[in-house]
């Protein structure tokens, strides 16, 4: 061997040996700073069963805790930290009602990113599966459960991309995806409003076929109201993102960009008077589409960026009326849905 | 150094007459015939490619395995485990594009000034390799964004010197072939990377650190191959080195270089990104969303297969025509989106045309450019060509976006294709020596 080749072979062997050594240790110590262990345990739910929990008001959420990362948890509203059962279903986003629900999932083991929307039965088994176009963002159900609404990011995973979302309704009875919201007719001041850069996200239903959502175009956001049966959308107001309508339909909680455009704060809109007010009790950056615990309390995830995933993600509860500070509702949880 | 541009652009000594049919049909069937006959030009391909070409190819293969391992794993890690928003990832990418262009020029300039292409390229590869260490230590999205940016800077720095080294390692009549070999290996690496990531995540689910460790090893091996097996070309004392800013100004004010940069920009403007074409394909053919990732694999595969044969064709027939043919292939890809085709045929032809486009343009433009640049300014010149070409692509995409928003989807494609056809014709005309006396002269720098 010529000396340069000998040096290279030595160097390559050194690289190979180091990698082999690393993997030898890594395989023996499966814990890494990002690793959720593959097996979830039911230990936390000892003494409770899904059937018992489902009889009283309960909530579903996606766990971010270390030994159950990504698993769907069902918990009693009265004692969400104690009375809980960890299921074996994994979702990135989920939304449930009494008839079952919607689970946006991602197959981590697949060679190419593999995004799916599963329609779930009340027993959390999959009744049908539809492909989706990208990273899950939002999941909601209509009031009587006829439709499911999903929002996904379509280009966030590519090199030369900007923000782009796709929002579809799914007819739950036939398990068919309907045309995405970009195919709907949009009216603004009774004129047809159309632009190629339309993005829709954050659907929230106020009855079984009518909903609110966000329309984003040319750096602006609008609150729109839509009708699933006629496939029309109407622009209501400007500068409203990720609406969520209260159970009684009287309030819409939403996000609005602060002076620092990387930060969004929660606001509440009264649907009778159309008055808006910031939710001053919550001063942190909230990126979630909120869920309503009841007609006066909002529930949402806050990310603490400086912490590890299991410590960073928590559900917080704030009253829209009494001005009291936010209260930690469930630790290590996202994507809540309340079933009353 | 007395080689004229004629013999470089037209190595197979074709009829010099530019007939009207040539202008109307810039792309004749001749390349295909030459390829089929094969023998007619075999004498050009007897010499084996230099060891340098293979060394640079292997370096790129290893480095691309490393890079693509990281880029296929990072979005998953950032979005699913660290809760960054995908929109933020997009913004970081856009920011980096500009920085890469600048780094590319600086890398080229440094290589030309020091006449040390290998060392400058190695510095770029090493910088990217060191970022893997950064990834291993990172815990927050901001850390990853920072190291990803530095990684792209390294990529920018090495591009110019590497392409110059490739060009100087092959005799003029084999340059497109050399670039073809390099791009084949490069793309092979880019396709292997995600596969390695997949295998690692299968063995160690969720253990992203192990991906970065393996990625570091591949990157280090790449640097090792470069340092061990690549050599700088022999000095030719007749050529003074490009040392000062004045020389760069002189280079950029050279009419031939300016014209070439103009052609690179204009050709870039006629090109739509794969991403836009895939979106069009999806909307026009109702392609299922989960088929999309397949396209991101199939197109590089087509490119990988075609890069060498098309490079060979460019060497033995005409780089100018092959280059324009490559952009015409893209033009055909736009038209595919307008046709009523069965899904498989639409997707198949799109992938083939895109692969052909990259095979006939990326390396061929560099080979063509290298022949026109003074030896002392190879790295800077090639870096400038790459930068102006990608600048053109950016302008083209913006123009298409504007057309799309002002008219309908179909109208935008029709108008853009029409504009692209005119653009390609103009470039063909600019490159043809008949109409461009400046390009037909010697390629030595004006004052030396």
pLDDT surpasses 50 at A308: yes
CA B436 – CA B430 distance, rounded (Å)? 6
Per DSSP bridges, beta strands A241-245 and A327-331 are: unpaired
Instruction: List the structure tokens of B73.
Output: 């794993």
Closest-approach residue (CA) in chain A for B91: A162
pLDDT score at B161: 94
Residue A310 vs residues A36, A301, B143, B374: alpha-carbon distances, Å: 9, 13, 19, 59
Task: Give B330-358 pLDDT, tens digit per residue.
Answer: 999 999 999 888 888 989 999 999 999 99
Q: Give the span between the Cα atoms of A261 and B202, in whole angstroms.
A: 39
Res. B73: pLDDT tops 90: no
Whole-prediction pTM: 0.67
Closest CA to B439 of B361, B369, B365, B363: B369
User: In Å, how far is B40's CA from the nearest CA of chain A?
Assistant: 39
Place of tokens 């850069």: A197
For residue B228, give the nearest of A8, A18, A195 by CB distance. A8
| Cβ separation A92–B273 shorter than 8 A | no
Judge whether A271 and A120 are in contact, CB under 8 Å. Answer: no
A178 CB contacts (<8 Å, ≥6 apart)? A168, A169, A170, A171, A228, A231
Q: Which residue of B has its CA nearest to A153?
A: B86
Residue of B nearest to A304 (CA): B83
Q: Report the alpha-carbon distance of residue B260 to residue B195 in Å, rounded.
A: 38
Option in B140, B273, B405 nearest A195 (CB): B405
Q: Which chain A residue has its CA at the smallest distance from B141's CA?
A: A305
Interface contact A18, partner B, CB < 8 A? yes
ipTM of the complex: 0.71
Q: Which of A19-33, A213-227, B331-345, B418-432 has the lowest mean pLDDT?
A: A19-33
Question: A5-14, A157-166, B287-296, B375-384: which range is least confident on average?
Answer: A157-166
Residue B53 tokens, joined? 């070409």
Q: Which of A109, A153, A309 sits opposite B86 (nearest CB)?
A: A153
HEC string of chain B equals CCCEHHHHHCCCCCCCCCCHHHHHCCCCCHHHHHHHHCHHHHHHHCCCCCHHHHHHHHHHHHHHHHHHHHHHHHHHHHHHHCCCCHHHHHHHHHHHHHHHHHHHHHHHHHHHHHCCHHHHHHHHHHHHHHHHHHHHHCCCHHHHHHHHHHHHHHHHHHHHHHHHHHHHCCCHHHHHHHHHHHHHHHHHHHHHHHHHHHHHHHHCCCCHHHHHHHHHHHHHHHHHHHHHHCCCCCCCCCCCCCCCHHHHHHHHHCHHHHHHHHHHHHHHHCCCCHHHHHHHHHHHHCCCHHHHHHHHHHHHHHHHHHHHHHHHHHHHCCHHHHHHHHHHHHHHHHHHCCCCCCHHHHHHHHHHHHHHHHHHHHHHHHHHHHHHCCHHHHHHHHHHHHHHHHHHHHHHHHHHHHHHHHCCHHHHHHHHHHHHHHHHHHHHHHHCHHHCHHHHCECCCCCC
Q: Please indicate whether, in this complex, the C-beta atoms of A32 and B217 are within 8 angstroms of each other.
A: no
- Do the chains contact at A35 and B206, CB–CB below 8 Å? yes
Is there a contact between B210 and A22 if contact means CB atoms under 8 Å apart? Answer: yes
Structure tokens at B233: 């070309």
pLDDT recorded at residue B86: 54
A267-271 mean pLDDT: 93
Mean pLDDT across the stretch B260-266? 91
Asked if residues B1 and B375 have their Cβ atoms less than 8 Å apart, the reply is yes
Cβ contact, residue pair A30, B273, below 8 Å: no
Residues of B in contact with A38 (CB under 8 A): 205
Pick among A14, A22, A34 to test the B interface (most B CBs inside 10 A): A34
Q: Which residues of B touch A255 (CB under 8 A)?
A: none
What does the pLDDT read at residue B199?
A: 86
- Average pLDDT in the B56-80 region? 86
Rg (CA), chain A: 23
Tell me, yes or no, if A205 comes closer than 8 A to chain B by beta carbon: no
- Residue carrying structure tokens 């047809």: A192
Which among A206, A139, A124, A199 is positioned nearest to A170, based on CA atoms?
A: A139
User: Does the pLDDT value for residue A114 go beyond 50?
Assistant: yes
Identity of the residue in A26, A110, A287 whose CB atom sits nearest the CB atom of B210: A26
Residue A324: predicted pLDDT:
85
Q: What is the mean pLDDT of chain B?
A: 79
Q: Which pLDDT score is estimated for B87? A: 56
Helix (H) or strand (E) holding A63: strand A58-63
Question: Which H or E run contains A210?
Answer: strand A210-217
Indicate the range of A155-164, B68-77, B244-253, B382-391 predicted with least confidence: A155-164
Whether chain B has a CB inside 8 Å of the CB on A193: the answer is: no
B14-30 burial, b at 16+ Cβ within 10 Å, e below that, comes to: eeeeeeeebeeebbeee
């Amino acid at each position: 061997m010529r000396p340069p080749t000998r040096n290279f072979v030595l160097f390559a062997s050194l690289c190979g040996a180091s990698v082999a050594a690393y993997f030898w240790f890594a395989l023996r110590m499966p814990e890494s700073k990002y690793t959720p262990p593959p097996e979830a345990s039911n230990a936390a739910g000892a003494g409770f069963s899904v059937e018992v929990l489902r009889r009283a008001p309960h909530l579903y959420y996606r766990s971010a805790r270390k030994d159950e990362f990504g698993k769907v948890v069902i918990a009693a509203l009265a004692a969400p930290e104690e009375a809980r059962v960890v299921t074996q279903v994994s979702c990135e986003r989920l939304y449930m009602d009494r008839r079952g629900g919607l689970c946006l999932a991602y197959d981590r083991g697949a060679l190419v990113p593999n995004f799916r929307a599963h329609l779930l039965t009340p027993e959390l088994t999959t009744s049908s599966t539809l492909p989706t176009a990208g990273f899950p963002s939002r999941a909601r159900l209509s009031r009587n459960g006829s439709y499911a609404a999903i929002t996904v990011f379509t280009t966030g995973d590519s090199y030369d991309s900007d923000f782009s979302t796709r929002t579809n309704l799914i007819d739950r009875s036939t398990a068919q995806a309907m045309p995405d919201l970009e195919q709907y007719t949009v009216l603004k001041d009774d004129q047809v409003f159309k632009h190629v850069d339309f993005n829709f996200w954050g659907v929230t239903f106020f009855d079984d076929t009518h909903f609110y959502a966000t329309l984003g175009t040319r750096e602006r956001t609008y609150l729109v109201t839509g009708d699933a049966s006629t496939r029309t959308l109407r622009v209501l107001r400007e500068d409203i993102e990720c609406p969520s309508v209260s159970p009684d339909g009287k309030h819409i909680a939403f996000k609005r960009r602060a002076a620092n455009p990387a930060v969004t704060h929660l606001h509440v809109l009264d649907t009778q008077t159309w008055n808006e007010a910031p939710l001053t009790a919550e001063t942190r950056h909230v990126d979630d589409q909120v869920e309503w615990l009841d007609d006066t309390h909002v529930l949402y995830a806050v990310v603490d960026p400086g912490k590890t995933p299991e410590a960073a993600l928590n559900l917080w509860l704030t009253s829209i009326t009494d001005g009291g500070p936010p209260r930690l509702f469930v630790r290590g949880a996202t994507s809540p849905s309340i079933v009353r | 150094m007395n080689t004229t541009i004629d013999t470089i652009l037209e190595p197979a000594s074709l009829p010099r007459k530019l007939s009207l049919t040539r202008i109307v049909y810039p792309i004749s069937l001749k390349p295909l015939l030459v390829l089929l006959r094969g023998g007619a030009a075999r004498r050009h391909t007897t010499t084996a490619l230099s060891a340098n070409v293979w060394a640079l190819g292997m370096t790129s293969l290893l480095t691309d395995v490393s890079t693509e391992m990281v880029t296929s794993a990072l979005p998953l890690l950032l979005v699913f485990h660290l809760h960054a928003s995908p929109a933020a990832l997009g913004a970081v990418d856009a920011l980096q594009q500009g920085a890469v262009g600048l780094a590319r020029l600086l890398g080229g300039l440094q290589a030309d000034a020091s006449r040390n292409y290998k060392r400058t390229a190695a510095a770029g590869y090493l910088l990217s390799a060191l970022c893997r260490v950064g990834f291993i230590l990172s815990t927050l999205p901001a850390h990853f964004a920072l190291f990803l940016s530095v990684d792209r800077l390294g990529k920018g720095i090495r591009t110019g010197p590497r392409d110059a080294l490739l060009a100087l390692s092959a005799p003029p009549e084999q340059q497109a072939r050399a670039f073809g070999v390099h791009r084949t290996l490069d793309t092979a690496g880019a396709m292997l990377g995600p596969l390695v990531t997949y295998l690692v995540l299968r063995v160690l689910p969720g253990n992203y650190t192990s991906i970065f460790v393996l990625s570091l090893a591949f990157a280090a091996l790449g640097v090792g191959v470069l340092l061990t097996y690549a050599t700088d070309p022999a000095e030719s004392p007749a050529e003074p080195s490009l040392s000062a800013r004045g020389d760069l100004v002189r280079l950029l004010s050279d009419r031939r270089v300016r014209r070439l940069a103009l052609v690179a920009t204009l050709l870039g403007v006629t090109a739509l990104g794969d991403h836009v074409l895939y979106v069009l394909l999806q909307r026009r053919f109702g392609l299922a969303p989960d088929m999309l990732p397949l396209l991101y694999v199939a197109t590089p595969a087509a490119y990988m297969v075609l890069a060498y044969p098309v490079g060979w064709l460019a060497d033995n027939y005409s780089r100018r025509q092959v280059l324009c043919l490559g952009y015409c292939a893209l033009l055909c890809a736009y038209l595919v989106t307008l046709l009523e085709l069965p899904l498989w045929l639409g997707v198949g032809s799109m992938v083939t045309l895109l692969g052909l486009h990259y095979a006939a343009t990326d390396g061929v433009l560099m080979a063509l450019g290298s022949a026109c640049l003074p030896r002392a300014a190879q790295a800077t010149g090639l870096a400038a060509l790459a930068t102006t070409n990608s600048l053109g692509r950016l302008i083209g995409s913006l123009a298409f976006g504007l057309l799309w928003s002002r008219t309908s989807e179909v109208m935008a494609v029709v108008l853009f294709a029409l504009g692209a056809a005119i653009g390609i014709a103009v470039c063909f005309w600019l490159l043809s020596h008949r109409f461009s006396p400046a390009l037909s002269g010697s390629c030595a720098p004006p004052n030396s």
